[in-house]
Amino acid sequence: MKSWQLPEHVADVLPTNARQLESARERLLALFRVHGYELVQPPLMEYSHSLLTHIDAGLSLKTILVVDQLSGRQLGIRADITPQVARIDAHLLSANQGINRLCYAGSVLHARPDGLLNMREPLQAGAEMYGLEGIEADIELIDLMLKSMKIADMGEVLLSLGHIGVFRALANAAHLDEQQSAILLSSMQDKDAEAVSQLVKEWKLDGMWAKAFSLLPRLYGGREVLTLAREKLPELSAVSAALDELQAVCDAFPNQKVHIDLSELRVDNYHTGLLYAAYGSNRHDAVARGGRYDGLGGYFGRARPAAGFSFDLRSFIGRLPAIGRESVVAVDVKDMPAAQEAVDALREQGQCVVIDYGIGYNGSEEVTGGLKQVDGVWKVIALND
C-alpha cells in the first residue's frame, strides 16, 4: 500500500474548496449569531460514556473508541456534536434557567460512512435551543435551517416533516413491548409496508392498532396528509397533539414546499417528537436534519426541552459560490531585509505578500504586483505597469 493513501471515505480539502468551506462557515456562524445563537467548541474526544454511546446503538456503531493512555479509561472520538452540546447546557451552563441558544461547526469522525457517497469526517454545523418546550422553538429552528440552506445553491428546498410521537403513541396504546417497538420501527424506517402488515398480523394486534400501523407507511405526501391522518388514525390525545404540531409548522411556512411522512422515522434514539429535514434539488439525501430531543440533558444532570438541527457543511461543496484568492504582491528575496517594514505594514492591512525565491510557487499566476523601491520608498507596482 502506498504510504500517502488515505483511508476509504476520507479526503483532503484542497485550497479552492477550503476557501469555499471557510467562507461558508463564517457566513453560517454569522447567521447563527444574529439570531442569538452563541458558539461553543466541544472537544474532539471525550470519555465514551459522555458521548451517549451507551444509550444509542446507532451512535455507538459510528463512534471510534480508543484507550486513554493517561487514565486507562475508554475514550470516544465524537461522531455527533449534539450530545456534547446537551452536556454543556446541562452542566457548564446550568446557572441559566432560561433559554440557551447554542451553535457549533466542527469535525466529527464516523467509524463507517452513512452511505456510499458520504465521507467519514463530516464538518458538522448546527444550532440547538434548550429550555423552550413549545412548538415556537421548533419553528424558529426550522426557519434558521432553511436560511442556512441559502448559503449554498441548493435550488428549490423541500421541507420534510415527520413526528416520532405518532408511532410511539400507537405503540403505547397497543401495548407493544420494547423489542416489538424496535422491530416495527425498523420496518417503518425501511418503508416496508408489507413487513409491517405481516408483523402486526403475527402479533395478533387488535384490529384498530393493526390497521393504524399498516396505514402509517402510506401516510405521506403534501399538507393534505394531516387531514387524512386525522380521519384515519385512532383518536388518541398524543396523536392529535403531534398532528397539531405538524399543522403549526405548515401554517408557519405557507409558501414553503412541504412533504409530510408519518413513517419517516430515521432518527437517533434520543429524538422524542417533531422531526424535520431539508432536501435540495437533485439530492438523493437530506442536506440537513433536525428535531426535538427533550430530556437528553438528563443524562448529564439536567433534563430540559431541547430541539436543534445539523448538517455536513462538506455537502455544500460544488454548490458554494467560487471564492477567488485575494490579490497577491510579491517581493524579491534579495529585497526582503530592506523591505521588511513595508511588508509588515501591508500584511497588517490584510494584503497578501509572498517572498519570491525565483523558483515559482503556488498561486504565482495570481500575483498582481511587486513590491519595489521607488525614490527611496517601497511601493506596490502593478505587473502591467
| Residue 81 labeled ligand binder | yes
Distance of alpha carbon 232 from alpha carbon 264, whole angstroms: 18
pLDDT tens series, the chain, 385 aa: 567 789 999 999 988 899 999 999 999 999 999 999 999 999 999 998 888 767 777 788 899 999 999 999 999 999 999 999 999 999 899 999 999 999 999 999 999 988 887 889 999 999 999 999 999 999 999 999 999 999 998 989 999 999 999 999 999 998 988 888 888 888 887 777 888 888 888 888 888 988 998 888 889 999 999 999 999 999 999 999 999 999 999 999 999 999 999 987 665 667 889 999 999 987 778 899 999 999 888 889 899 999 999 999 998 888 888 877 778 999 999 999 999 999 999 999 999 999 999 887 665 567 889 999 999 999 999 877 5
Q: Known binder of ligand: residue 266? A: yes
Query: What is the pLDDT, as a whole number, of residue 295?
Result: 85
Rounded to whole angstroms, the Cα distance separating 362 from 364 reads 6
- The beta strands (E) that lie in 78-234 are given as 100-107, 123-130, 158-163, 220-221
Which pLDDT belongs to residue 114? 83
Is 317 a known ligand-binding residue?
Answer: no
Q: What is the DSSP letter of 255?
A: T
pLDDT of residue 84: 94
Is 355 among the annotated ligand-binding positions?
Answer: no
User: Do residues 219 and 199 lie in contact, with contact meaning Cβ atoms separated by under 8 Å?
Assistant: no
349 Cβ contact partners less than 8 Å away, ≥ 6 residues apart: none
User: What pLDDT sits at residue 385?
Assistant: 58
pLDDT for residue 268:
60
Which domains are seen in the chain, by residue range? 15-316 (3.30.930.10), 328-382 (no CATH)
Secondary element (H or E) of residue 378: strand 377-382
Q: Is 16 annotated as a binding residue?
A: no
- pTM for this prediction: 0.89
* pLDDT of 305: 94
